[in-house]
Amino acid sequence: MIAVDTNILVYAHRRDSEWHHRAQKTIAGLAEAATPWAIPWPCIHEFLAIVTHARIYKPATPLDAALQQLHFWSESPSLRLIGELRGHLKVLEGILSGGKISGGGVHDARIAAICREHGISELWTADRDFGRIPGVRVRNPLLQPEPPGSPQ
């Protein structure tokens, strides 16, 4: 199963992002497929915090519109919203220790731990910091070449 990180969600939502078109197509491809895909709950929270933040976006996305976007994505029958499981602390501890991660990297380690707990095979993200986390396969779907004749 593929999980999607916050930045892909933000780019898919924000039309003013240079990556909007590709991110939107990426999410639509996942949402329209029968294969299960996932969004970790911390990415949902972070999405809301980022797109509604007036110092990040001018104008920021109104909360109602951001929530509406999440409801729209959640209508995908193949989407799974995933969170921490009972053994989360042990998994998180292993990731933090194995990657010598502290500070701001703890949030990414939390997402990686949740993905590992749910058997996620690949995390789609534009964040290169996930490369520091051992045992997490990451891919940036926005860097894949567009098929010939695709609108940009």
Q: Tell me how long the chain is.
A: 152
The pLDDT tens digits of the residues spanning 74-95 come to 999 999 999 999 999 999 999 9
10 Å Cβ neighbour count for 53?
11
Residue 76, in any domain of the structure: yes
In a domain, 149, yes or no: no
Q: Per the domain annotation, does 6 fall within a domain? A: yes
Q: Return d(Cα 65, Cα 51) in angstroms, integer.
A: 10
Looking at the structure of the chain, the number of domains it has is 1
Residue 132 lies in a domain: yes
Would residue 150 count as lying in a domain?
A: no
Residue 37, domain member (yes or no):
yes
Percent of the chain with pLDDT over 90: 86
Residue 152: inside a domain:
no
CATH no. for residue 68?
3.40.50.1010
Q: What is the pLDDT of residues 57-79, one digit of tens each?
A: 999 999 999 999 999 999 999 99
| Whole-angstrom distance, CA of residue 1 vs CA of residue 94 | 22
Q: How far apart are CA 110 and CA 147, in angstroms?
A: 35
pTM, rounded to two decimals: 0.91
Range of the domain at 94: 2-143
Q: Residue 151 falls within a domain, yes or no?
A: no
